[in-house]
């Protein structure tokens, strides 16, 4: 499954505009109204309350899925990783803060580009299927624009053939200058909703100022 995640990260990095942000080294203890920084990502992206009770919060670095492993760099937060075992589902998220209007406009254009979102989903599904020795011939991909934050896109791709089930969902959204990327890989016909996850993250972002 690491191949799937790396493919998704690579696609996003190629399509996204990187912001010039220095990671804050202050304490991440929450203070109402404090300005949000990348140092707050572990609190903002804590999806434990939105995922099933059996979801495990894993150290992304220990699984080879850290910010550095993914080639994200200091302009992005660390990756937060959760795994549900039965049925299997892996959910990860990271964020960035874009201060530059040009960079925000370019990233907004990506969120609105349905073809690019579909392509990112297909790349991940194909990589995952290849890892399992399965050739994909029929993939169902749906893209929608949920009412989350100021702008959001939700893409879902699934494949079921020869007893093999796999899905890859992604949700990207923005709240003012904060951009969040959430993705899910699952090996069943159902999965925890990324809509619910994103709504929880949006609520936590709203506790900070920008």
The pLDDT of residue 47 is above 60? yes
Contacts of 84 (CB under 8 A, 6+ apart): 51, 52, 54, 55, 56, 90, 91, 192
Tell me the domain boundaries of the chain. 2-16+30-205
pLDDT at residue number 22: 30
Angstrom distance (rounded) from CA 83 to CA 58: 7
Determine which of 5-14, 32-41, 68-77, 91-100 has the lowest per-residue pLDDT on average: 5-14
Residue 180 phi, psi dihedral angles, 5° rounding: -125, 135
Percentage of residues in the chain with pLDDT exceeding 70? 83
pTM of the complete model? 0.82
pLDDT at residue number 13: 37
Angstrom distance (rounded) from CA 43 to CA 202: 12
Predicted confidence (pLDDT) per residue in 151-206, tens digit: 999 999 988 777 778 899 999 999 999 999 999 999 887 788 999 999 999 999 99
Under CATH, what is the fold of the domain 2-16+30-205? Protein Transport Mog1p; Chain A (3.40.1000)
Q: What is the H or E stretch that residue 12 is in?
A: helix 2-15
Nearest CA to 18 out of 89, 99, 92 is that of: 99
pLDDT at residue number 179: 97
């Amino acid at each position: 499954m690491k191949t799937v995640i790396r493919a998704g990260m690579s696609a996003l990095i190629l399509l996204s505009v990187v912001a010039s942000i220095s990671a804050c080294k202050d304490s991440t203890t929450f203070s109402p109204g404090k300005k949000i920084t990348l140092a707050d990502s572990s609190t903002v992206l804590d999806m434990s309350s939105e995922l099933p009770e059996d979801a495990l919060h894993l150290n992304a670095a220990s699984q080879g899925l850290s910010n550095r492993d993914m080639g994200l760099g200091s302009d992005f937060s660390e990756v937060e990783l959760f795994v549900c075992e039965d049925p299997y589902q892996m959910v990860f998220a990271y964020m960035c803060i874009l201060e530059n209007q040009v960079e925000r406009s370019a990233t907004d254009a990506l969120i609105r580009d349905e073809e690019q979102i579909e392509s990112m989903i297909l790349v991940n599904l194909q990589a995952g299927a290849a890892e399992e020795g399965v050739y994909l011939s029929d993939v169902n991909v749906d893209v929608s624009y949920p009412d989350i934050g100021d702008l959001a896109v939700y893409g879902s791709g699934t494949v079921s053939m020869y007893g093999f089930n796999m899905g890859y969902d992604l949700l990207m959204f923005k709240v003012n200058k904060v951009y969040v990327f959430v993705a899910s890989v699952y090996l069943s016909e159902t999965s925890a909703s990324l809509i619910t996850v994103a709504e929880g993250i949006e609520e936590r972002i709203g506790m900070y100022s920008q």
